[in-house]
Chain A
Amino acid sequence: MEHIILKIRGVLQNDGHAYINAFIACPQIERIAPIVFLVDLGATTTTILEGDCTRLGIDCDSLEKAPGETIVPSGRIETYILRDVTLVFETEGELEFERLEKVDVINPKIDSVLLPFSLLGIDVISRYKLTYSRNNGLTLER
């Protein structure tokens, strides 16, 4: 039987940050939507940041609140839980999906900085072998 490699290629920016493109679907989002993830080895859980929360029309009031508070460099924030999320990645010539029981969502506030990306956490990254090279960029492979 052939051993099939799934290879997801990331985009490496000049400053070294790596991003991965995906499509996201879940019952709370009305459509399949594109999303850009910053690969964040420091994030335990994949997290939808304020900008994407607004863009995707996620209503945090309808979500369950995550227990406790999340500590980030700027202080403590309240996070919410989005369940039954599917992320679809483009591999070489194929679509690959990851089902996630939950992802965290940060509720946008009036003074929120709306970044155009979210965070791909260890919950997804650990399912792959991650290769990071200044020359060849970032790949998630299995």
Chain B
Amino acid sequence: MSDDAGSKTAPKGLLDVLMMLETEEKSFTELKALDISPNTVLSRLREAQKKGLVEQKLFPVKGKKPRIKYVLTKQGKEVLTMFESIREKYVDLRTELQSLQEEVRKKEKEMKYLLSSTNVTSS
């Protein structure tokens, strides 16, 4: 197995990172308090930045170098609200999704039946 494949993991933590930034900006050190590996936190931050959900800002510290902190953007707040809403209503949404899938299966059977009966009629 290649090194690249070995370093790949299932995604986790984007929502945790966004939720952590919901109330106030955080530095990377503060975000490491999350129960996920620092590497994952960094990957999720980079991904969130790329998608415009999070941005870096410099915060002045008296007598010291300014600190880099991560801030949720307007788009990030919207996405977080949406994710939270899905989590809240997850059971209902899954039930609705399952009945939709059932309808799809029925429709597929109907169409298959129609196609096969058309073939019989035409032959």
A interface, CB within 8 angstroms of B = 1-7, 11, 13-15, 17, 19, 21, 23, 25, 32-36, 86, 88, 91-97, 115-117
The yes or no answer to B104 lying at the interface (CB within 8 A) is yes
Supposing A25-B82, A115-B107 touch, asked if A92 and B10 sit within 8 A by C-beta, the answer is yes
A7–B100 contact, CB under 8 A? no
Looking at B19-27, B63-71, B89-97, the stretch in contact with chain A turns out to be B89-97
Contact (Cβ within 8 A) A23 B10: no
Q: Write the residues of chain B forming the contact surface with A, with a CB cutoff of 8 angstroms.
A: 4, 7-15, 37, 39-40, 42-44, 46-47, 79, 82-83, 85-86, 89, 93-94, 96-97, 100-101, 103-105, 107-108, 112
Q: Is the CB of B101 within 8 A of A86?
A: no
B104 lies within 8 A of A1 (CB) = no
- Interface pair B43/A4, CB less than 8 Å apart: yes
10 contacts between A and B (CB under 8 A): A4-B8, A4-B11, A4-B47, A11-B101, A13-B104, A34-B94, A35-B100, A86-B82, A95-B86, A116-B107
Q: Among A14, A34, A96, point to the contact of B93 (Cβ < 8 A).
A: A34
Residues of B within 8 A of A25 (CB): 82
Q: For A13, give its contact among B43, B100, B108 (CB under 8 Å).
A: B108
- CB-CB under 8 A from A91, the residues of chain B are 10-11
Residue from B11, B42, B101 in contact with A93 in the complex, judged by beta carbons closer than 8 Å: B11
Smallest CB separation, A27 vs chain B (Å): 11
B46 to chain A: which residues have CB within 8 Å? 1
Given contacts A1-B39, A2-B43, contact A93 B10 (CB under 8 A): yes
Q: Is the CB of A2 within 8 A of B108?
A: no
A21 touches B7 (CB 8 A): no
Given A13-B108, A34-B100, A88-B83, answer yes or no on A2-B40 (Cβ-Cβ < 8 Å). yes
Nearest 6 pairs between A and B by C-beta?
A116-B103, A34-B97, A94-B11, A92-B10, A2-B39, A4-B11
Residues of A within 8 A of B101 (CB): 11, 19, 21, 36
